[in-house]
Amino acid sequence: MARYLEIHPVNPQPRLIDQAVHILREGGLIAYPTDSCYALGCALDAKEPLERIRRIRQVGANHDFTLVCADFAQLAQFVIVSNPVFRLVKNATPGPCTFILPATKEVPRRMAHPRKHTVGVRIPDHKVAHALVEALGEPIVSSTLLLPGHEDPPTEGWVVQDLLDHQVDAIIEAGEVGTEPTTVVDLSRGDLEIRREGAGDISRF
C-alpha cells in the first residue's frame, strides 16, 4: 500500500517533503502533482522504478522520459543548450512545457532515447513539485500519469490511490490539478517542432 502524503499546495511542509524525498532516495516510485497534471517520478539512479513506470504506462524503450528540474542551472547539467535554445527555454520556464534536447553524459543511458540520445527537461511552476526537486538535489525522472485506456490523467490524489495504490510507493495530495499534459517542444535537431500541444502556451514559439 502506498504512503499517502497530504502536502499544502502553497506552503509545502518540509517534514512531508522530506518523507517523499526519502522514498525517492531509497529507490521508490511516487505519484506527484505538477503544474500540468499528475506525474510518476523516481530518482535519477533508480532502475526498478523506471521499469515500473514503463509497465504502468505500457510504453516501450523509445518512451521519452522527462527530467523535472529545480532551476536552469540544474537543467543545463543534463542537456546541451545552445545560445538560441537557451533564450527560448528560459522564456518559457518555469511552466508546463517540456523540451526535448540532446542529453549530456550525466543522463543514464537507460533513460535517454536509445537512438537519438535525447531526453525531455522542464522546470515546473508548482510549489510542491519544485520543493521535491530542490530537497532531492537532482532532477526527478518523470512521466505523465496517463494510464492505458484513460483519456485524461487523474486530477486528485484519492483517484490516484484508487488506481495505483499497490503499484507506487507514495502518492502526494496537494489539491486538484489539471488534466492536460505539458506541451512538448523538440529542439534536439536545431529547429523547433511541437511534438504535443498541451498545457503550455505554444504562441510564444
User: Is the residue at 205 inside a domain?
Assistant: no
Q: Is residue 33 part of a domain?
A: yes
Q: What is the mean pLDDT of residues 143-168?
A: 95
> Residue 145 has what pLDDT?
97
Q: Which three cell numbers stand for residue 184?
A: 512538448
Report the percent of the chain where pLDDT is more than 90.
81
pLDDT over 90 at 58, yes or no: yes
Is the pLDDT reported for residue 204 higher than 80?
no
Q: What is the greatest pairwise CA distance in the chain?
A: 46
pLDDT category at 63 given cuts 50, 70, 90 is confident
DSSP assignment letter at 103: B
- What pLDDT does residue 115 have? 82
Local confidence band at 35 (pLDDT 50, 70, 90 cut-offs) = very high
Residue 188 falls inside a structural domain: yes
The span from the CA of 158 to the CA of 148, in Å, is: 19
CATH number at residue 21: 3.90.870.10
> Is the pLDDT reported for residue 60 higher than 90?
no
Full residue range of the structural domain in which residue 115 is found: 3-200
- Percentages helix, strand, coil for the chain, rounded to the nearest 5? 25, 20, 50
Q: How many domains does the chain have?
A: 1
pLDDT at 189: 86
What are 164-196's pLDDT values in tens digits?
999 999 999 999 999 999 999 999 987 899 999
Q: Is residue 191 part of a domain?
A: yes
Averaged pLDDT score across all residues of the chain: 94
Residue 114: the pLDDT is 77
Indicate whether 75 belongs to any domain. yes
Flag whether 126 is in a domain: yes
Is 144's pLDDT higher than 90? yes
pLDDT digits (tens, 9 = 90+) for 90-125: 889 999 999 999 999 999 888 888 788 899 999 999
Query: Does 19 fall in a domain?
Result: yes
